[in-house]
């Protein structure tokens, strides 16, 4: 008996027949969400129900090929039987047959809009294909299944929005994620950082405190508080958070100092930015962006250390969008 389980994913358990002295190779794909204990039996006298139930029995016994054949037979007998399409979607998705899984899931959802497993598969397939219908499919899933598994999907969409520089879209999805699952600590962390970036300091402070409730002494929370209190002008509380970071997580303090230095640099306060960036690099010498911005500060003042930091930036992050510009400046300095 093979059992595969991971927190946040559906457990797989199947019997496998082995030959003495032989080798067997199999692959499984874990579906996100809560565990589904095999294929459920339907108590119905509708056409196709008996055939579907025979397939569910085969599936739960580990005969996936036989189950798929029965599910397909049941759907042919009764195209209105949502469970028959759900069973096919489940098997096709586990085998990474995305197109077949999506087609079957669409039929199941059309027949039963609250068919949670099919709603999950439909969204995951759209997301995998980069289909614009994924957003609506996710909203449909949220409405039917406001679970921790759904919250993680929403969180991942927020992460993608951050990478696409869609800050408003990212905040909307992260707020939705914590509304579904108030225990999703990662969402509060990113929300705090995004709120600070939008100068919404009160919201950032609230997010940081929520993070601390879930993860006591989380250094990321103190990094958020340091930036937020500095933004509100509460230097006493900002220094208290900085002191915690100095001891607990120097790299997190370095990140906060970098953000502060970056803001000062873009505001035209190069001298103040330089001081913050130098402190950041004392704590985290290999912070790529801090090396780059400090190199620009030094370049503006004719400090020969500019070349050193620009070179270090390119070494640390050669594929960064600003790497080509940094190389040009280095050649100019040679």
- How does pLDDT run across 244-287, given as a tens digit for each residue? 887 777 887 788 888 878 877 877 888 888 988 998 898 889 99
| Backbone φ, ψ for residue 53 (5° rounding) | -60, -35
Stretch 298-305: mean pLDDT, rounded?
90
Q: What are the residue ranges spanned by the domains of the chain?
A: 42-129
Query: pLDDT tens, 167-208?
Result: 899 999 999 999 999 999 999 999 998 898 888 999 999 999
CA distance 39 to 53: 9
Better pLDDT: 77 or 11:
77
Instruction: Say what the pLDDT of residue 155 is.
Output: 93
CA distance 102 to 90: 10
pLDDT exceeds 50 at position 34? no
pTM above 0.85, yes or no: no
CA distance 131 to 135: 9
**What is the CATH T-level fold of the domain 42-129, as seen in this structure?**
1.25.40
The three-point CA angle 179-183-189 to 5° equals 85
Instruction: Say what the pLDDT of residue 171 is.
Output: 94
Instruction: Say what the pLDDT of residue 37 is.
Output: 40
> DSSP letter string over 298-330?
HHHHT-THHHHHHHHHHHH-TTSTTHHHHHHHH
pLDDT exceeds 50 at position 243? yes
Query: pLDDT tens, 87-104?
Result: 999 999 988 899 999 999
CA distance 273 to 265: 5
For residue 35, name the pLDDT band (cuts at 50, 70, 90). very low
pLDDT exceeds 70 at position 48? yes
């Amino acid at each position: 008996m093979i059992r595969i389980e991971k927190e946040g994913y559906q457990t797989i358990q199947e019997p496998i027949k082995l030959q003495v002295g032989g080798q067997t190779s199999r692959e499984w794909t874990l579906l996100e969400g809560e565990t589904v204990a095999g294929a459920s039996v339907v108590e119905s006298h509708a056409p196709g129900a008996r055939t579907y139930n025979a397939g569910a029995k085969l599936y739960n016994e580990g005969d996936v090929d036989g189950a798929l054949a029965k599910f397909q037979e049941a759907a042919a007998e009764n195209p209105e039987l949502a469970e028959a399409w759900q069973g096919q979607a489940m098997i096709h998705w586990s085998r990474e047959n995305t197109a077949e899984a999506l087609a079957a899931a669409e039929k199941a959802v059309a027949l039963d809009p609250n068919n949670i497993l099919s709603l999950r598969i439909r969204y995951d397939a759209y997301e995998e294909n980069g289909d614009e219908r994924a957003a609506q499919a996710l909203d449909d899933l949220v409405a039917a299944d406001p679970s921790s598994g759904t919250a993680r999907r929403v969180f991942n969409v927020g992460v993608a929005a951050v990478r696409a520089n869609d800050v408003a879209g990212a905040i909307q999805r992260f707020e939705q994620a914590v509304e579904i699952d108030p225990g999703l600590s990662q969402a509060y962390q990113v929300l705090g950082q995004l709120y600070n970036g939008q100068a919404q300091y009160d919201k950032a402070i609230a997010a940081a405190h929520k993070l601390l409730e879930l993860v006591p002494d989380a250094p990321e929370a103190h990094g958020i508080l340091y930036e937020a209190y500095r933004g509100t002008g509460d230097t006493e509380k900002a220094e208290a958070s900085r002191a915690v970071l100095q001891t607990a997580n120097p790299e997190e303090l370095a990140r906060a100092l970098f953000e502060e230095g970056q803001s000062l640099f873009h505001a035209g306060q190069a001298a103040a930015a330089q001081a913050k960036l130098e402190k950041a690099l004392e704590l985290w010498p290999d912070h790529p962006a801090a090396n780059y911005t400090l190199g620009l500060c030094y370049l503006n003042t004719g400090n020969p250390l500019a070349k050193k930091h620009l070179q270090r930036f390119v070494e640390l992050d050669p594929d960064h969008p600003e790497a080509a510009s940094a190389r040009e400046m280095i050649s100019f300095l040679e």
